[in-house]
Structures are given as C-alpha cells and as structure tokens.
Structure 1
Amino acid sequence: MTSLPPLNALRAFDAAGRHLNFRAAADEMGVTQGAVAQQVRLLEAHLGIPLFERLPKGLAFTAAGRGYHARVTTAFADLRSATNILKPEPGKVLVSVTPTFAAKWLIPNLPEFSATHPEIDLRILATEKVSSFHGDGIDLAVRQAQPPFGAAIDAIRLFRQDIVAVASPQLVEGLDLPIGAATLSHLPKLHDAHDLWPRFLKAVNTEDRSGHGLHLSQTALAIDAALSGQGVALVSKFLAARDISLGNLVQVSAEGLSGNQDFYLLAQRQSKRSPATEVVLQWFLAKAGPDA
C-alpha cells in the first residue's frame, strides 16, 4: 500500500491552499513562513508533482494541486466532524431522526425547545441510515419501527402510525368532505417509499382510476406535493397535524389505516444518559401523542 503523506505536510498544504499565501498560512498555524514552505515542498516531493506555482505575490494552484486540495479539504472536514460528534461536550445532545420526521415535526417544534432550554446544544442528524449510539455518537434516535428492541435500549412509543389521506383545500374545492371512495379513486395520488395506496384503496373497496400519479422517495416530499395541490398523500396523521390545523391541508377521507410500525424514541439506559439528554427525552415525551 502506498504510504500516506505526513499529516503536518497535509495541514500546511491545506492552509496554504486556502490562503494561497505561505505567510497567511503560517499565521494560521502558529509557525514560521519557512516552515510552511518546507512542509509543502516535502509533500510535493512525496507525491512527485508540483502543487503550487510560486508567484511574486503569492501562490497559484497547478491543475493537480487544485484537485488534490479539494479532496484534502474534504478529508479534514470529515475528520473534524467525526471528532466533534464523539468529543464529550456538556449540554450537547445529538438526535438522529429521519428526514421526514425532522422536516414535518421536529423543526416546527424546535423554537419552543430552544426558548425553554437555551443551555442545551441540540444537534439534529437527519438520515435514513440506522445510527449507532457508540459508533455515531448519538444520544437519542427517533425511528419508525416495531418491538422488540435491544436489551440495552430504552424504547418509548411517541406516536402511533395512524395513516390518513390529505390534500390541499384547492384540490378538493367544491367537494363535500369527507369524500367517498368513488371520488377518491379519481383524484391524483402521491406515492412515497411506503407504498400504502394499494392497502388504503383495498380497505375502502375501490381501485385507483387516476393514472400513475407522482412517485417520491420520502413522505416529506409527498406532503410538500400535497401542499402544492398536486394530489392526495397518505401520511401519519401527527406529521400532517400542524398543516391541517393551519388550514393548509385537509383530511379528505374519513377512513384511515393503522400501520405496522409506530414511531419510537430510542435511548441508552438511564444510567448512561447525560442530564442534558434526559431533558431532551422528557421534552419529547411531553410533546408526544396520547399513546406515548
């Protein structure tokens, strides 16, 4: 395996590339200008190619140097991010949630939390990936799942997966709500990765007569499409509750579905939770639905 370049040389190259000036890079790193120049020369010798053109008033990238600097900068950013996640910080709580939960429930409720608990540095990791308490350094996670969970995890149900059909008021303007199955069958459908429309239409004893509809990868996108009047979306009721209360969405059908996977708050056992994590956990419980 080709050996990696010396870390100090990479740091000097990173700083020099951002400033395109050895003196400014030296000031940032707290060393002499000559030391930075020497480290960059060592890196160039290691790679066997020049990375900078030395100009009378600074530096300019070579073609190879510009591309290499972009990759080195990204690598350092990833290292800093990984370190910040794992580094213990009093008051910091990292919560892993799905993008849909983040966009449609958590973000709208965060101003209240920030006003009540300004001392807590709440950080949100929005990802579909299953996060690890140890490997990813998360403190809490909200996931759509079903028991059983691991023996070392506390799992608290926040919301049941109660599925309802919603649309913008403009899409169903002039129709008497709730609409019947025959009317619903002709309205355009918005599909997400959960693909619940076949079950829903079977439950109301009808078929889809609206065509292919729009297919989206996330429920949040289906809700946004419904808000813009592009069709009817099937969503967990609590995710649409805010837009329904504001009149941006309406529940178009009286029927609903009970999903197989409810929304759970996952945490390590209480003995391993920080005081700040416990505060955030209790806030989630206070904001949760009646079935929590």
Structure 2
Amino acid sequence: MEALPPLNALRAFEVAGRYLNFRLAAQEMGLTQGAVAQQVRLLEAHLGMPLFERHAKGLAFTSAGRGYHAAVAASFDGLRAATGVLRPEPEKVLISVTPAFAAKWLIPNLPSFSERHPEIDLRIMATEKLSSFHSEGINLAIRQGAPPFGAALEAVCLFRQEVIAVASPNLTAAGTLPLSASALAKLSKLHDGHDLWPQFLARIGVEDQSGRGLRLNQVALAIDAAISGQGVALVPRFLVARDLEAGTLLQVTDQVLEGDKGFYLLTEPRKKRGKAVEQVRHWLVDMSDQPDIDRK
C-alpha cells in the first residue's frame, strides 16, 4: 500500500489552495507564512511535481495542482462531516426579546446559563416588534403584556409588572429618601414609550412641576439616563435589581405601580419543543421571581 503524503502538508496545501496565498493560509492555520510554504514544498517533493506557480501577487495552480486540490478538499470535507456526526455542533436556540430585557436582564445573566448549559448555542434577537415562530425560526419569545397571546402559544409570567421610580445617588441624597410627593414632582422626569408618569403622579396626588424632561423610546435608555443623573425613571423593578444592589440607582419613593402587563415567556406547544428549547425554558423559569410558577 502506497504511503499517504504527510497530513500536515496536505492540510497546508488545502488551505493555501483556497486562498491562493500563503500569508492568508498562515493566518487561518496559526502558523508563519514560511511554515506553510515549507509544508507545501514538502508535499510537492513527496509527489515529485509542482502544485503551485509562485507569483509576486500570490499563487496559481498548475494543471496537476488544480485537480489534486479538488480531491484533497473533498477528502477534508468528508472528514469534517464524519467528525460532526460524532461531535455535533451545539444545539441552537433563538429567543426573541425586547431590547430592554436583553440589555438589562438577559445578557447580564447569560454567564449563569452558559455555566449550566455550555452545549447550547443561545442566540438573541432583540426587537420591539412581534416575532414569528415559524417564518423567523423563533423558538422562544419574551414580551411584556397581558394574556391571551394567541391560542397556539403557551404563556408563563416570569416577572409581574412592578414599576418603581429610580434615580442616581447624585440626583438626590440618600438621607432624604423616600422623597415626598412634592419633592418628586419637582425632579426632572425621564419618559419612555410606556408613558407611565401621569398615572404614577396621579397615584400619589401631585402634578409634574419639572417641565418636559427627557423623552426616550426604550426603557433601557431611560435606565442609562437615570444612572447618569439626568432624571428619575419609572422602570420594572427586576430590570434594575443589579443597579439597586450596587447602589448606582436608588428607589426614590415607596410608591409602586402594579398592573397586569408582566413579562411573559411565550413558547409553542410542548410537543413541538426540542430538548435544548426545553432546557432554555426551564432556566428562564428558574431565574424568574414568581414562587408559584409552573417549573415543570
């Protein structure tokens, strides 16, 4: 049986043939340009014929090299496919969430998920618009609202609507908290797309005396503006839990605005969920703040 050419040399030839450039091949392989060129020369010596024509601007196949490269590349593709059967890629799960939920809760908690499920490739689609499970390939979605969300979807409340007023310690001294209703009325307000300030101020019996304030279209932006000391924001408590614990934000009044528009985990019926999707769902449920939630 005729001996095979050196496998390292074959690999160098396969990569160099894709780029027709030793420098680019070296970058992919993590070698020096000279090392790749040397491996190709070893292969040419083993075969007794040139495989490349060397030019100042790169490489060109010889007639023999072109045909040989096609066969070598096909062989490496076959090896990759066979290896993939034994060691499949991580299962992919696509979750659609709002930008605020992604920035202020999901991404900060991802290390916990990766530690528990390193085999799952969790992909995040941050968008305000409703996503389609079918046309966009969504496996899970998290949206703020109130049921029903559709007969074809299962909905589990992860976080109830509990809105609080928060501000930077630089905006108000901690010793003066909680603020009186009149003091809160005078502070600059940060408004987002939910426009909850009129309802919140009416609840405590005052009118806004701070002017127009800053208007933003996303809760995450209002949170960032509050952290930078630009005003008081009304935000879901769970989205700022880390900031409250770290002291970068303070709850400025004990008043809480509650409602039925919680953050819900939406999934397709159980029979259509794969193992990886089910594991992501279980993690989200475990991380929720609802003690009576169905964790099965």
1:60-98: CA deviations, max 9, x gaps? xxxxxxxxxxxxxxxxxxxxxxxxxxxxx7611100000
Q: Deviations over 1:29-53 (max 9, x none)?
A: xxxxxxxxxxxxxxxxxxxxxxxxx
Matched residue type, 2:94: L
| Counterpart position of 1:172 | 172
Cα deviations by residue, 1:154-194 (Å, 9 ceiling, x for unpaired): 11000111110000111112652111100001111000011
Q: Is the 8 A contact 2:90 2:119 kept in 1?
A: no
- Post-superposition offset of 1:242: 1.1
SS of match in other structure, 1:160 = strand
Alignment-derived partner of residue 233 in structure 2: 233
Quick check: 1:188 aligned with 2:156? no
CA distance, structure 1, for counterparts of residue 90 and residue 246 of structure 2: 37
Post-superposition offset of 1:262: 1.0
> Are 1:94 and 2:94 counterparts?
yes
Is the aligned partner of 1:142 residue 2:142?
yes
> Which residue in the other structure is 1:109 paired with?
109
Identify the residue that residue 130 of structure 2 maps to in structure 1.
Answer: 130
Larger radius of gyration: 2
Moved over 4 A (4+): none
Amino acid at match of 2:240: A
In structure 1, runs of 5+ residues without a counterpart are: 1-21, 29-55, 59-88
In structure 2, what is the Cα distance between the partners aligned to 1:260 and 1:215? 24
Q: Which residue is 1:201 aligned to?
A: 201
Report the Cα distance in structure 2 between the residues aligned to 1:174 and 1:126, rounded to whole angstroms.
Answer: 35
* Offset from partner CA, 1:86-115 (integer Å, 9 cap, x none): xxx761110000000000000110011101
CA distance in 2, matches of 1:287, 1:23: 51
The verdict on how the C-alpha distance between 1:145 and 1:154 changes in structure 2, with shifts beyond 3 A counting, is: same
CA–CA separation in structure 2 for the residues paired with 1:174 and 1:276 = 45
Other-structure match for 1:34:
none
SS of aligned partner of 1:261: strand
- Aligned residue runs from structure 1 range 20-59, under 5 A: none
Distance 1:90 1:267 in 2: 21
Instruction: Output the CA distance in 1 between the equivalents of 2:240 and 2:199.
Output: 20
Number of positions where the alignment pairs a residue of Structure 1 with one of Structure 2: 213
Distance in 2 between the 1:288 and 1:142 partners? Answer: 12
Question: TM-score scaled to structure 1, two decimals?
Answer: 0.69
Residue 256 (1) aligns with residue 289 (2): no
The Cα of 1:23 is off from its aligned counterpart by 6.4
Shift of 1:57: 6.4
How far apart are 1:116 and its partner, in Å?
A: 1.2
Give me the whole-angstrom Cα distance separating, in 1, the residues matched to 2:176 and 2:57.
Answer: 74
> Which residue in 2 is equivalent to 1:271?
271
**Distance in 2 between the 1:212 and 1:93 partners?**
42
Note closer, same or farther for the CA distance 1:90–1:152 as it changes in structure 2 (3 Å cut).
Answer: farther
| CA distance 1:210–1:274, change in 2 (3 Å) | same
